C-alpha cells in the first residue's frame, strides 16, 4: 500500500476542524494552521501538529487543503505576504474547500500552474454535522489526474465526491447548491410559521410531512432545531449570506434571474442588522414576522 501524502490544512473553523480531524483519523500525516491560533488548540491536544506559518505548513506538505471564509481570504493565503506561493510549490496540489468566486478560482488555478502547482476547487456541503461525521458532499473542479490524486483525501472527509468539470465548475455547482439551500430554508420558515399560526403542534407536523414529497435534508435536520428554538449553527447566517452574494454576482454576470435567492438574502440581511449573523442559517424564520412566528 502506497504511503499517504502529507497534508497541510488551512482554516480550522466551524467546518474545517471536523474535516481536519477526519484526515487525522484516516492516518494522513497532518499539519494545520489557522489565522486565530486558539482555534487549533483542541486539535493540538488530539495530537495534530500545528504550524507556525502558512509557508512552513506548505513547505512540509504535498497536498494543501484550504477551508476559508471568502475569496479575499483564499487569495491572501495563496498569494499574499508570507503566503503559500511565495516558496517553491512545484508539484504540490492545493485543494480549496472554501466557497468562493468561480471566476477568481480560475485565476488562482492559472497562477499556481505558472509555479508548477495544481489547484482543485472542491467546496463542500453538509453542514458542521457532515464535517464532523465525514459525510460531506464534495463538488470538484479541475483536472482529472489531480482529482485521482486527491481521491483518498476526499474520501476521508466526505461521502459523495463528484468531479463536475474544469476549474471553477466546483464553485459553480456549490452556488447551485446554495440556491437550493436558501430556497428550502425559506420554504421551511414559511411552512412552520403557517403551521404555528394555525394552532398546530410543530413536532406532529414535522413527523407527518418529513418523509413525504415535501421532505428534505433541511426539514429533517433543521426543522427540529427551529421547533426547539435552537439556533446553534451548522452553517452561520453570515456565511450563508456571503454565499448568496456570490450567487447574485454570478447571476448578474450570466444574466439569469434568482428571485428566491434575492428574497432569502433580503431576509438574512434583516437578521444581520439585528446582530444575529452568527446564528444558524435556519434562523431565517425569525425574519418572516408572521403571526405565531418562532422566537
Q: Residues 12, 34: contact at Cβ < 8 Å?
A: yes
Catalytic residue among 174, 210, 242, 286: 174
- 174 labelled catalytic: yes
Q: Residues 182, 261: contact at Cβ < 8 Å?
A: yes
| C-alpha cell recorded at residue 294 | 418562532
Q: Where are the alpha helices (DSSP H) in the chain?
A: 16-25, 41-45, 54-59, 71-79, 102-114, 127-133, 144-157, 169-197, 202-209, 217-227, 237-254, 259-273
User: What are the DSSP calls for 29-81, one per residue?
Assistant: -EEEE-SSGGGGHHHHHTT-EE-SSHHHHHHT-SEEEE--SSHHHHHHHHHST
Catalytic residues: 174
Amino acid at each position: 500500500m502506497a504511503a499517504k501524502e502529507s497534508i497541510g490544512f488551512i482554516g480550522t473553523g466551524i467546518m474545517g476542524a471536523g474535516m481536519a480531524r477526519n484526515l487525522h483519523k484516516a492516518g494522513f500525516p497532518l499539519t494545520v494552521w489557522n489565522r486565530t491560533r486558539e482555534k487549533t488548540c483542541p486539535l493540538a491536544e488530539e495530537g495534530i501538529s500545528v504550524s507556525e506559518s502558512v509557508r512552513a505548513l506548505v513547505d512540509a506538505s504535498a497536498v494543501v487543503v484550504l477551508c476559508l471564509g471568502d475569496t479575499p481570504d483564499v487569495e491572501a493565503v495563496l498569494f499574499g505576504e508570507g503566503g503559500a506561493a511565495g516558496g517553491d510549490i512545484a508539484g504540490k496540489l492545493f485543494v480549496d474547500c472554501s466557497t468562493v468566486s468561480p471566476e477568481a478560482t480560475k485565476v488562482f488555478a492559472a497562477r499556481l500552474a505558472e509555479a508548477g502547482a495544481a489547484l482543485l476547487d472542491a467546496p463542500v456541503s453538509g453542514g458542521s454535522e457532515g464535517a464532523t461525521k465525514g459525510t460531506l458532499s464534495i463538488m470538484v473542479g479541475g483536472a482529472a489526474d489531480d482529482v485521482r490524486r486527491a481521491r483518498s483525501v476526499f474520501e476521508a472527509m466526505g461521502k459523495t465526491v463528484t468531479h463536475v468539470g474544469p476549474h471553477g465548475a466546483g464553485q459553480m455547482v456549490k452556488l447551485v447548491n446554495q440556491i437550493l439551500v436558501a430556497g428550502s430554508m425559506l420554504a421551511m420558515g414559511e411552512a412552520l410559521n403557517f403551521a404555528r399560526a394555525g394552532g398546530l403542534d410543530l413536532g406532529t407536523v414535522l413527523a407527518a410531512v418529513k418523509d413525504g414529497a415535501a421532505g428534505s435534508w433541511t426539514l429533517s435536520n433543521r426543522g427540529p432545531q427551529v421547533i426547539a428554538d435552537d439556533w446553534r449553527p451548522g452553517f452561520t447566517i453570515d456565511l450563508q449570506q456571503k454565499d448568496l452574494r456570490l450567487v447574485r454576482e454570478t447571476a448578474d454576470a450570466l444574466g439569469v434571474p434568482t428571485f428566491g435567492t434575492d428574497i432569502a438574502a433580503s431576509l438574512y440581511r434583516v437578521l444581520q442588522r439585528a446582530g444575529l449573523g452568527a446564528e444558524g442559517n435556519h434562523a431565517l424564520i425569525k425574519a418572516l414576522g408572521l403571526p405565531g412566528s418562532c422566537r
